Amino acid sequence: MVKGGDVTGPGNTPSIYDQGLDKGPANYAPLSPIGFLERAAGIYPEKTAIIHGDMRFTYREFYDRARRLASALSAHGIGYGDTVSIMAFNVPPVLEAHYGVPMIGAVLNTLNIRLDAEAIAFILDHAETKVLITDREFSNTIKKALEQSNAKPLVIDIDDPLCDGGELLGEMSYETFIALGDPEFGWLPPEDEWQAISLNYTSGTTGNPKGVVYHHRGAYLSAMGNALVFGVSSQSVFLWTVPMFHCNGWTFPWALTAVGGTHVCLRRVDPALIFPAIQAHGVSHMCGAPIVLTMLIHSPEAANVKLNHTVELATGGSAPPSAVISAMEAIGFRITHLYGLTEVYGPATFCAWQDSWDALPRDAQTTRMARQGVIYPMVQGMKVGDPDTLEPAPADGETVGEIFLRGNSIMSGYLKNLDATERALKGGWFHSGDLAVRHPDGYIEIKDRSKDIIISGGENISSIEVEEILYRHPDIMEAAVVAKPDEKWGESPCAFVTLRPGLDQLSSDDVIGWCRENMAHYKCPKKVVFGELPKTSTGKIQKFILRDRALEA
């Protein structure tokens, strides 16, 4: 057998293929998702592209409105490298902004609607926002933010007929603004596919948020990857349960348009709206954090629901507890588990189903499905390894390491934050900060965020593993486990649980007993606190607040 002899790297002598075969306008175009809308409008001009309440926009109208927006922004002096921020629910203007803003070389900054005025003001300043498009429902926060901010953006109000609160703050309404624009506006694709397309601030649990910059190439490739992995087509009807301000809606404003599917907008994630929308519009695909699944299952509506068609539901952000997967599938959803972060355009791995799992008992199946899985097609590489040396850990299902990712769907960096960018991309890999094991089958499974691991008596305890046991208790709706300082053990697990509505019979001892029946005793919570859990604006449980509370618990 020939050993060694690996391919030689740089310095290949030019060959016959290096002559007269150059790039040119015929055979090279910078990758950009903007063209997806032009193409969809060309192929499906009269097809319903967007549903919002009683409103319907065809693909022709969607494209016209995006071009009007681009034209109106351009007429106001906005262009290359300018930031356009938008504060809104999942309404049509946000979809339109995913095209209209980059059409003029500007950068779309979707704001997290749950942020307070101070955080918004910080972002407007940091992003040097030139235009702020804002839904009237957020006028209180935005008014304060604008007072605090040094940026003095042009303010445009989304005056959504489905909203009756708030006030109008800006120069004019969004509809008036785009009515001034040209629906035939001659936009240009980016000259360089590395050009920035969007800016997404992390919901950082401490310190100032960091501005994650996406480029056209990455947005195009992520959208193609999402379309392929989630299996969307022109027949797909996508319900907007994942916020578009979260990693640009996991790139689906682009991915679904690439295939010519139908977007169903939604002002809020409310089971009383979601179940009827699924039936009324024949929703085929939706996404959301596990908290959305939990909310759907425990809603009064769920008791009577049995969907008349299968709805593909991709979930990520944290692992869906087995009990949640089972309950959702019983109603008629099919769950795909994705994993990603803002820094990697949303999903980067998915838990690919294996034929061999067909024969497993249901419990074993849902346990497998809770793994973060394997890489997306547009991800170049993933490893689980030492946080400092990046040395890969063995794929033994036990050795915990940090998840590293590399490839074309990794951010270009953090805006105006070279130090953080260098730290995040050090050694040629993106450092996720998530701790995982790699199973012998290659699937990764997250054990914790690096800062969420509990070290008790020198042993690492995965807070997620304890939470998984808690979620299996029939009376527990939500659970989070954090470290509490412990004189003897250094740290010990402290559990925060929310009971299902109407149930309040469970005691601390019951909960601890349940854990002791189901896992190693050293991993069991020593303390249990009942009540609602604090969440970030994207629905993630805020463990840093719980850690503070644990100090006093």
Segment 403 to 422, residues that bind a copy of itself, using CB under 8 A: 406-408, 410-413, 415-418, 421
- Mutual angle of helices 252-259 and 34-43, in 10-degree steps: 30
Rounded least distance, CB 166 to a copy of itself, Å: 28
Mask of contacts with a copy of itself, 113-152, x by CB under 8 A? ---------------x------------------------
- Tallying the residues shown for the chain, one arrives at 553
357 scored as a contact of a copy of itself (CB under 8 A): no
Instruction: Using CB under 8 A, pick the residue from 10, 361, 458, 502 that binds a copy of itself.
Output: 10
Rounded least distance, CB 238 to a copy of itself, Å: 15
C-alpha 146, offset from chain centre: 27
- Among the listed ranges 93-101, 163-171, 226-234, 280-288, the one in contact with a copy of itself (CB under 8 A) is 226-234
Residue list 334-353, contact with a copy of itself (CB under 8 A): 352-353
Stretch 78-97 residues interacting with a copy of itself (CB under 8 A): 79-83
Closest to a copy of itself by CB, 128 or 386:
128
Q: In a 3-state reduction of DSSP, which class is residue 245?
A: coil
Three-class SS string for 44-57?
CCCCEEEEECCEEE
What residue type is 543 in one-letter code? K
Asked if 104 is part of the footprint of a copy of itself (rule: CB under 8 A), the reply reads: yes
Residue 42 found at the interface with a copy of itself (CB under 8 A):
yes
Binder of a copy of itself out of 57, 89, 185, 238 (CB under 8 A): 185
Q: Tokens standing for 465?
A: 């593993």
To a copy of itself, the closest distance from the beta carbon of 44 in angstroms equals: 7
> In terms of DSSP bridges, do strands 129-135 and 154-158 run parallel, antiparallel, or are they unpaired?
parallel
Pick 18 or 396: Cβ nearer a copy of itself: 18
Q: Which is nearer to a copy of itself, 213 or 341 (CB)?
A: 213
Residues 233-272 that bind a copy of itself (CB under 8 A): 233-234, 258-260
Using an 8 Å Cβ cutoff, are 455 and 440 in contact? no
Judging by DSSP bridges, how do beta strands 129-135 and 107-110 pair with one another?
Answer: unpaired
Angle between helices 322-331 and 290-297 (to 10 degrees): 60
Q: What are phi and psi of 378, to 5 degrees?
A: -95, 5
Work out whether 206 is an interface residue with a copy of itself (CB under 8 A). no
User: Which residue's entry shows tokens 């040395």?
Assistant: 391
- Site size toward a copy of itself (CB under 8 A) is 104
Which stretch in 21-29, 482-490, 523-531, 538-546 sits in contact with a copy of itself by CB under 8 A? Answer: 21-29
Residue closer to a copy of itself by CB (options 259, 323) is: 259
Q: Is 164 in the site for a copy of itself (CB under 8 A)?
A: no
User: Which residue in the set 14, 161, 207, 300 belongs to the binding site for a copy of itself (CB under 8 A)?
Assistant: 14
Q: Does 23 bind a copy of itself (CB under 8 A)?
A: yes
Alpha-carbon torsion (159, 68, 36, 32), positive or negative: negative
DSSP calls for 82-133: -EEEEE-SB-HHHHHHHHHTGGGT-EEEEPPTT--HHHHHHHHHHHTEEEEE
Question: CB-based contacts of 119: which residues, under 8 Å, 6+ apart?
Answer: 112, 209
Cα distances from 121 to residues 80, 93, 124, 131, in angstroms, run 23, 22, 5, 13
CB of 237 to a copy of itself, least distance (A): 12
Q: How far is the CB of 359 from a copy of itself (least distance, A)?
A: 14
Interstrand relation of 401-407 and 379-385 (parallel, antiparallel or unpaired): antiparallel
Task: Please return the burial class of 404, using the count of CB atoms within 10 Å of its CB with bins 0-12, 13-18 and 19+.
Answer: buried
Instruction: Tell me whether residue 111 or residue 424 sits nearer to a copy of itself (CB atom).
Output: 424
Is 355 near a copy of itself (CB under 8 A)?
A: yes
Q: Does 195 bind a copy of itself (CB under 8 A)?
A: yes
Q: Does 432 bind a copy of itself (CB under 8 A)?
A: no
